[in-house]
Structure 1
Amino acid sequence: MNHCRDNEPTAEELMELHVEAMFTHDPNGRIRAIHEPWPGEDPAPRFFLGRTIDGTALCRFRHDVPDSLALLLKELVEDEPIMRDFQAKPKHFGSYMKLLQSGHHATGPCYCIPVQTTSTIQVVRITREHMSDHSLAGFECLASEIEYVQPCVALVHDRRIVSVCRSVRVTAKAYEAGLETLGEFRGRGYAAAVVAGWAMAVREMGALPLYSTPWENLSSQRVAGKLGLSLYGVNFTIK
C-alpha cells in the first residue's frame, strides 16, 4: 500500500481521527455510542484498540467499563508489540476477551485515501434535489438519510443507482466511507470509482477521507487494493 504524503497526518494522528469519527465521547474521553450521522444511536463497544504501522497503539473504553478494569486493559495495551503481521490478533487477545468476559470481537484494516486518488469512471453527487432523477431500487434507505450522509456519490446505470459511497461517520476533520454496490453490478470497477469520487468531495470540504473494513470483507479490501489506499493501522473492538 502507498503511504500518505508528507503533509498528511501521521499514522498515529489518523488513528486518533478514526476513533473520534467512529464513536461519540464524553468529557472524560470515554466512548459512548456509535457516531452515526443520522438520528438515533447504538452503544459503542466496551473496548477499542487501534494499532498503527508506525508502532503506536491507542485504546478507548466505554463509559461504563470500571476504572480498575480499564487500567488493567491499558497496561496490556502498553505491552503490545509493534505489528509485523497486520492480520494477526493482538498479543493479549485472550486476556482482553477474558477480562471483558466477551465472546464477540471485530477487527480490520484502516486506510487513508491519498490526495491523488481520482475516479476513472463518471460518477455523480446525490442530493435531495437530484434524487428524483434516478431510481433508488436497492438503495431505498437514501430517501430518508440523504441529508445526513453527504457527500454521497453514486454510479448510475440506465438512470438506476447501482453503486454508492456515502459518509457514514462525520466529524469536522475526518469522514468515514460507507460503500455498497448492487450484486449484479459488482466486479466492474464501480465501487472503486465511487470511493474515489467520494474522497475527492470530502477533501473539497476540508476534511480527510478515511476507509475501514472488517478483514472478512474481501471485496472491500479489493477496492482498497485497486485504489492503492494507504494502510495506517488496524482496529480491534470488543462488545
Structure 2
Amino acid sequence: MTLALLETNLATTFVTSETGRIVSEDEPGLPPGPRLYLAGCRYGTRVRLRHDVDDETARIIEALVAREGPWVDPATDPACLAEMLARLTPVESVSRSILYRLPHGLTQEAGATILRGDTAEGRAWLARLAESGMPQHLLDAGFLGAGDFWEPWCVALEEETIAAMAFAARIGQQAAEVGVYTFPGFRGRGLAAAVTAAWSGLAELVDRPLFYSTSVTNLSSQRVAARLGLPVFGAAMRVT
C-alpha cells in the first residue's frame, strides 16, 4: 500500500515521457525538473531521471538503485549516492525532503477567518482582490496576481489582511499536494496548520490522496506537520 502511495506521489510530482523520464515539474509554468529524483519508503525505492540524462547513465543509475534495499531516512545518504553523483558530474545541488500523507477533512483551531476558494464568498473576494491589486506583502512574497492562487485554495484572514494560504502546489487526476505559505508578521501562531487542515476538506480533493512535503532543513514546516499529526510515509532526494 505504501509503495503504491509512493508511486502515486511520483506521478503527481512530474510530467514524464512515455519512457518514464522527467520532462518537467507538474505545476503551473512547468519548470524543469531535477536531473535525478529518488523517492523511498520501507517497501522500496524509485528513481526518475530527467530526459536530458543520457541513456547509458540512466541505465547504470537505475541498476544501482535496484540492487539496494529501501532508502527511508532523509537524514542519511543512500549507499549508492556517491556513485550516482559521480555519474551525473557536475552536480549543482543535492536536497532531501520528508514525504507526509495528508488525511482528508482535518480540523484545526484557526484563530483567524478561513476563506475557501470553492465558495461564492471566496470567489467574490478573489475577484475584488484582482480588481484592486495585490497587497504589498503579497507582492513582496512573490505573488504577482490572482492567478498565483493555485486552485483549489483557502486563506486565513486577519480582518482584511491575508495572513496565510494553502493552495494546490500540484494537482492531477491521481493525487494532489498542498503548498502552504504564512506571511511574515503572522508566523508562529498555527495559521499554516489551520489553512492546511481547511484545504484538506475541500470538496474538489475528496477523491484524491493528499500529500504534504517539506525539506529536511525546514523545521517550521515540520512543526506544521507535527501539529497536524501527519504520518510520514517516505523520503525524497533531488539532484540538480
**CA offset at residue 128 of structure 1?**
4.5
1:48 CA drift (Å): 1.1
| TM-score computed with the length of structure 2 as normaliser | 0.86
Tell me, yes or no, if the aligned pair for 1:146 and 1:152 is still in contact at 8 Å. Answer: no
| Residue identity matched to 1:139 | L
Q: 1:83/1:57 Cα in 2 relative to 1: closer, same or farther (>3 Å)?
A: closer
User: What's 2:22 paired with?
Assistant: 31
User: Match for residue 44 of structure 1?
Assistant: 33
In structure 2, C-alpha distance between the alignment counterparts of 1:170 and 1:84, rounded to whole Å:
25
Answering whether residue 67 of structure 2 is matched by residue 74 of structure 1, we say no
Return closer, same or farther for 1:47/1:180 CA change in 2, 3 Å cut-off.
same
Q: Give the drift of 1:192.
A: 0.3
In the alignment, is residue 17 of structure 1 matched against residue 12 of structure 2?
no
1:99 alignment partner in structure 2: 87
SS at match of 2:5: helix
**Which 10-residue stretch deviates more, 169-178 or 74-83?**
74-83
Determine which of 100, 114, 122 is the counterpart of 1:111. Answer: 100
- Which amino acid in the other structure matches residue 124 of structure 2? E
Point out where structure 1 has 5 or more consecutive residues left out of the alignment. 1-9
Distance 2:67 2:222 in 1: 29
The DSSP-based 3-state class of the residue aligned with 2:202 is helix
Identity of aligned residues (%): 28
Instruction: List alignment gaps of at least 5 residues for structure 2.
Output: none
What corresponds to 1:156 in structure 2?
157
Q: Match for 1:225: what amino acid? A: A
- The 3 A distance-change label for structure 1 pair 92 and 47 is same
Per-residue CA shift, 1:173-230, capped at 9, x if unaligned?
2111111101211111101000111111166442222111111111101100110101
After superposition, the CA RMSD in angstroms is 2.1
Q: Distance in 2 between matches of 1:77 and 1:100?
A: 14
TM-score (norm 1): 0.86
